[in-house]
């Protein structure tokens, strides 16, 4: 599928998706949102992909938000938005599509992740950030609230109190603070971000793809269940893994002291 | 609102300031304070002029050192006490406020004190703060929500340690565990709290209330249900915003 607002390539079983409007901070338009949803489907349908990486083009911004802020200032498009307001969250929303990716997803945060840009990284599994990036929700100052899951995913990551502070004050936090509160897994100098992320993604691709998917599913679904139900889910998935060839490959390689080569079967 | 014995309530520029005011007794929580708090919380809830509420403690030594134990031995029968607890459900009222509440914490924050702090949304603390749950050492258990609110804030292990072994937390530990949002020097406590209160008070009030509602209620829902709640509230917020 051709994409105009994002770039998409697959290299060595890793899917790289880049928001590609660096001249305006990679902000999310309706068409960019549609392409992100499409690419997520394409990734899910591609059996060879073992990990996905989301990033922004340029060295300033990962993503500075969406077009709604601009529409708010422009009376005409603002009125158009008003007509179909109920569908705004689904027309602009991308985080749920990313959350539905079954393979591990890394956010390579090359620059500021603000507004919907912040929301987008919350549905990735691992967040690695450049040291120069900031995080926050400035649109609150314009009277806009999150539309892409931040009120739900942010407290599940960093807790209620810090989420309320970020989403209500609208103040930005640094990469350092984001690390301290557990919003990102690692900070690296901007020039080293791509190689660092590649290293993580490659490490992931050496592991058994089905096991990765099931582990991700057990953690994500389990958080919505009671402990007893979650343990049950984990056990069920564990026994399902017994039917895969990868399990035999992994165990045999371990016993023979060789690195395993998984086929995702 | 004035004429309270145990609390000072002031309203300034859209911010409601509630000061626990029994400094000679480390602001410990007694029946009078319960009744006055109930009145004040009800008033804040219904007052559309109050955009943010701030809770703080008078005096130098404590935000609130717990419940007033001198009243414990004169308590009525368990059945009457239980009835009173739900007739004047201060804690339920506290958690139902639509406005954000910020706690400015210093000195002792023990027992009921930490439970009040946990009913607040944001917690700013000074360097001299000390958190603890002395209940089990007194032969009782917390009754204002700490067994539920604390593990949801700092996790199970540390809550159990505090409650079962009596471990107290200092400012750095509390920050590390996410119990407080920020630590500031003692003299900066009220200015820093006021700064963030003003910032929130300057925001669109429907959006502030919807955001608080989505975050607080969303955590008791599945992620999918929570996202649906956010989506509905976000549409409502957009309508309010674009209609202006």
Give ipTM to 2 decimals: 0.85
Whole-number pLDDT of residue A14: 97
Q: Is the pLDDT reported for residue B138 higher than 80?
A: yes
Whole-number pLDDT of residue A261: 86
Whole-number pLDDT of residue A81: 64
List the beta bridge partners of residue A99: none
Q: Which residue numbers in chain A have pLDDT < 70?
A: 75-83
C-beta separation of B129 from B174 below 8 A: yes
pLDDT tens for B193-207 read 999 999 999 999 999
Residue of chain B nearest A167, judged by CA positions: B211
The secondary structure of B75-144, three-state, reads: CCCHHHHHHHHHHCCHHHHHHCCCCCEEEEECEEEECHHHHHHHHCCEEEEECCCEEECCHHHHCCCCCC
- DSSP conformation class of A145: -
Q: Which residues of B129-168 are buried (b: 16+ CB within 10 A; e: fewer)?
A: bbbbbbbeeeeeebebbbbebbeebbeeebbeebbeeeee
**A68: chain B residues, CB-CB within 8 Å:** 238
Whole-number pLDDT of residue A257: 87
Residue of chain A nearest B226, judged by CA positions: A152
Residue A168 at interface with chain B, using a CB cutoff of 8 Å: yes
Chain B contacts in chain A segment 94-113 (CB below 8 A): 96
The C-alpha atoms of residue A116 and residue A69 are separated, in whole angstroms, by: 11
Whole-number pLDDT of residue A77: 63
pLDDT tens for B47-106 read 999 999 999 999 999 999 999 888 877 767 777 777 777 777 899 999 999 999 999 999
Most A CBs within 10 A among B225, B230, B237, B244, hence the mutation to make, goes to B230
Q: Is the dihedral of CA A177, A180, A186, A188 positive or negative?
A: positive
Whole-number pLDDT of residue A79: 60
Mean of pLDDT over chain B: 93
Whole-number pLDDT of residue A74: 72
Residue A47 at interface with chain B, using a CB cutoff of 8 Å: no
**Cβ distance of A156 and B223 shorter than 8 Å:** yes
Kindly report each contact of residues A215-223 with a partner whose C-beta sits within 8 Å and lies 24 or more positions away, as own/partner: A216/A102, A216/A103, A216/A104, A216/A125, A217/A102, A220/A99, A220/B223, A223/A156, A223/B223
Instruction: Please check whether the two domains, A6-205 and A209-255, share a CATH topology.
Output: no
Whole-number pLDDT of residue A75: 65
Domain residue ranges of chain A, discontinuous segments joined by +:
6-205, 209-255
Q: Is the pLDDT reported for residue B226 higher than 80?
A: yes
**Cβ distance of B153 and A161 shorter than 8 Å:** yes
Residue of chain B nearest A159, judged by CA positions: B153
The third-level CATH classification (topology) of the domain covering A6-205 is 2-enoyl-CoA Hydratase; Chain A, domain 1 (3.90.226)
The secondary structure of chain B, three-state, reads: CCCCCCEEEEEECCEEEEEECCHHHCCCECHHHHHHHHHHHHHHHHCCCCCEEEEEECCCCEEECCECHHHHHHCCCHHHHHHHHHHCCHHHHHHCCCCCEEEEECEEEECHHHHHHHHCCEEEEECCCEEECCHHHHCCCCCCCHHHHHHHHHCHHHHHHHHHHCCCEEHHHHHHCCCCCEEECHHHHHHHHHHHHHHHHCCCHHHHHHHHHHHHHHCCCCHHHHHHHHHHHHHHHHHHHHHC
Residue A141 at interface with chain B, using a CB cutoff of 8 Å: yes
Helix count and strand count (H, E) for chain A? 13, 10
Q: Minimal Cα–Cα distance from B101 to chain A, Å?
A: 10
Whole-number pLDDT of residue B98: 96
Report which secondary-structure segment, H or E, holds A30. helix A30-45
pLDDT tens for A135-147 read 999 999 999 999 9
Q: DSSP characters for A78-134?
A: HHHHHHTGGGHHHHH--HHHHHT--S-EEEEE-SEEETHHHHHHHTSSEEEEETT-E
C-beta separation of B211 from A145 below 8 A: yes
Domain residue ranges of chain B, discontinuous segments joined by +:
7-201, 205-243
Most B CBs within 10 A among A151, A180, A183, A224, hence the mutation to make, goes to A151
- In total, the C-beta contacts within 8 angstroms joining chain A to chain B are 134
Q: Domain A209-255: give its CATH code.
A: 1.10.12.10
The C-alpha atoms of residue A18 and residue A57 are separated, in whole angstroms, by: 6
Closest CA to B203 of B98, B53, B55, B51: B51
Domain spanning B7-201: CATH 3.40.1030.10: no
**Cβ distance of B241 and A143 shorter than 8 Å:** yes
């Amino acid at each position: 599928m051709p994409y105009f607002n994002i770039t998409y390539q697959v290299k060595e079983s890793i899917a790289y998706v880049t928001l590609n409007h660096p001249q305006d901070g990679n902000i999310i338009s309706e068409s960019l949102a549609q392409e992100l949803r499409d690419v997520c489907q394409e990734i899910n349908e591609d059996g060879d992909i073992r990990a996905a990486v989301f990033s922004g083009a340029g060295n300033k911004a990962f993503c500075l938000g969406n077009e709604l802020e601009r529409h708010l200032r422009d009376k005409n498009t603002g009125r158009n938005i008003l007509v179909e307001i109920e569908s705004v969250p689904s027309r602009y929303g991308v985080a749920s599509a990313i959350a539905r990716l079954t393979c591990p997803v890394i956010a390579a945060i090359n620059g500021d992740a603000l507004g919907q840009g912040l929301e987008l990284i919350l549905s990735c599994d691992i967040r690695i950030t450049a040291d120069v990036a900031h995080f926050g929700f400035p649109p609150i100052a314009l009277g806009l609230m999150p539309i892409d899951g931040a009120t739900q995913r942010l407290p599940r990551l960093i807790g209620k109190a810090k989420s309320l502070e970020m989403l209500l004050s609208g103040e930005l936090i640094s990469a350092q603070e984001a690390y301290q509160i557990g919003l990102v897994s690692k900070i690296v100098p901007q020039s080293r971000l791509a190689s660092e992320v590649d290293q993580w993604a490659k490490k992931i691709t050496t592991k058994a793809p089905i096991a990765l998917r099931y582990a991700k599913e057990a953690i994500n679904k389990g958080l919505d269940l009671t402990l007893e139900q979650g343990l049950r889910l984990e056990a069920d998935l564990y026994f399902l893994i017994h039917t895969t060839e990868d399990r035999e490959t992994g165990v045999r390689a371990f016993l023979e002291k060789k690195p395993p080569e998984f086929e995702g079967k | 609102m004035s004429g309270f014995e145990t609390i000072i309530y002031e309203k300034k520029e859209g911010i409601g300031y509630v000061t626990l005011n029994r400094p000679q007794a480390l602001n410990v929580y007694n029946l009078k304070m319960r009744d006055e708090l109930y009145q004040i919380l009800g008033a804040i809830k219904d007052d559309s002029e109050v955009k943010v509420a701030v809770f703080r403690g008078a005096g130098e030594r404590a935000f609130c050192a717990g419940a007033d134990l001198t009243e414990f031995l004169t308590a009525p029968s368990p059945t009457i006490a239980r009835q009173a607890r739900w007739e004047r459900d201060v804690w339920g009222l506290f958690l139902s406020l639509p406005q954000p509440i910020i706690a400015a914490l210093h000195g002792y924050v023990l027992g009921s004190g930490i439970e009040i702090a946990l009913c607040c949304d944001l917690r700013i603390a000074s360097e001299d703060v000390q958190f603890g749950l002395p209940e089990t050492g007194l032969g009782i258990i917390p009754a204002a929500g700490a067994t539920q609110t604390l593990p949801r804030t700092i996790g199970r292990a540390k809550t159990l340690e505090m409650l079962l072994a009596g471990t107290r937390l200092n400012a750095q530990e509390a920050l590390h565990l996410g119990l407080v949002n920020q630590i500031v020097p003692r003299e900066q406590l009220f200015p820093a709290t006021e700064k963030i209160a003003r910032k929130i008070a300057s925001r669109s009030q429907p959006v502030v209330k919807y955001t608080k509602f989505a975050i607080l209620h969303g955590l008791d829902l599945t992620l999918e249900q929570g996202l649906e709640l956010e989506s509905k509230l976000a549409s409502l917020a957009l309508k309010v915003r674009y209609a202006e």
